[in-house]
Copies of this chain bind each other. A is one copy, B any other.
Amino acid sequence: MSKESLSLNDSDTIQEGQRVLLYLDPRRTWLVQVSKNSIPFHTHAGIVQLSSIIGKKFGESVPTTLAESIFLLRPVALDFIMKSERRTQIVYPKDFSYIVSRSGIRGGSLVIECGTGSGALTTYFASIVAPDGLVHTFEAREDFSAIAQKNVAKAGLTQYVRFENSSLLTASQGLRENFYDLALLDTGDPWELLKVAHKVLKGSGFVFCICPTTNQLERVVETMKDGMFCDVESVEILLRQIEARAGKTRPSMRMIGHTCYLASGRKIVQGAQEGAITSTD
């Protein structure tokens, strides 16, 4: 694994080639790769010599040329995601966090995803299933897939992801059945993919669908309930920033009002003796 990765065995000392999150304040952070050959890094708060960061410890600060302190933070998956190149609307941390906890994926889990988009979910899933699991991700658009691969590579998680530049439907014939722990559907018409998701999931495995609109939510939930999945659930998650300050604590004036609804279900299978009469097995 390369030095810039999310590897947990990294030393506390920042090394050549490593990615570091520079933190000035909540609104001004930068994700950089440090090198002894780095050119000076310019910010509104002054200049930082990235080469001088090598050998420092994570959590230390360095002064800019304008005498402001910039903290050197170890980026986690979420930092890579929030700083990634995007062409698509990304799924938010509040949402992908919940998908992971509800579906129970963890080290060793096998996840199938469609579509990859900018790779935000791919990155987070990969960080969770590593080192023994895999995220198998499908994206029909070549430009999106290329960006996602770059984003996942930056986070050092490439070895836990298998990228496919095709639609899940097209590729479905060649997929292993009863294999994945979670199928994540993030396309405009997730109901079209439920049969494939059902086929490739383990019995009792989770499908999760990202639905920006109530119309998508309603349609995918109705399709899920049609004999393929049980424990079907729909939620929306709202995150509110709180400005906690001595004597004047209050929620932030602005918030994200909506990202998506999440629909989930668990794969139903037919027993051996009943198998012949059903269409879902």
Contacts and interface: CB of A to CB of B under 8 A. Distances in A.
B241 A257 contact: yes
Each complex incorporates copies of this chain amounting to 4
A244 B211 CA distance: 12
Contact of A101 (B73, B97, B240, B271): B97
B253 A254 contact: no
Interface string A151-164: 00000000000000
B266 A59 contact: yes
A215 B247 contact: yes
B204 A74 contact: yes
Nearest to A104: B76
Contact of A100 (B56, B57, B100, B132): B100
Contact of A94 (B78, B98, B231, B259): B98
Given A235-B240, A239-B237, A60 B269 contact: yes
Interface stretch (A31-39, A122-130, A167-175): A122-130
B104 A107 contact: no
Interface stretch (A43-51, A111-119, A138-146, A217-225): A217-225
A272 to B, nearest CB: 8
- Secondary structure at the A interface, as helix, strand, loop or mixed, is mixed
A247 B96 CA distance: 25
A134 to B, nearest CB: 12
Nearest to A103: B76
Given A23-B231, A130-B107, A242 B261 contact: yes
Given A60-B271, A71-B230, A254-B255, 14 more contacts: A12-B178, A57-B269, A57-B271, A61-B271, A71-B266, A74-B203, A78-B104, A93-B102, A107-B131, A214-B250, A218-B246, A222-B246, A237-B237, A237-B240
List of 8 A-B pairs having minimum Cβ-Cβ separation, nearest first: A76-B104, A59-B203, A255-B257, A107-B107, A97-B97, A251-B258, A58-B204, A59-B269
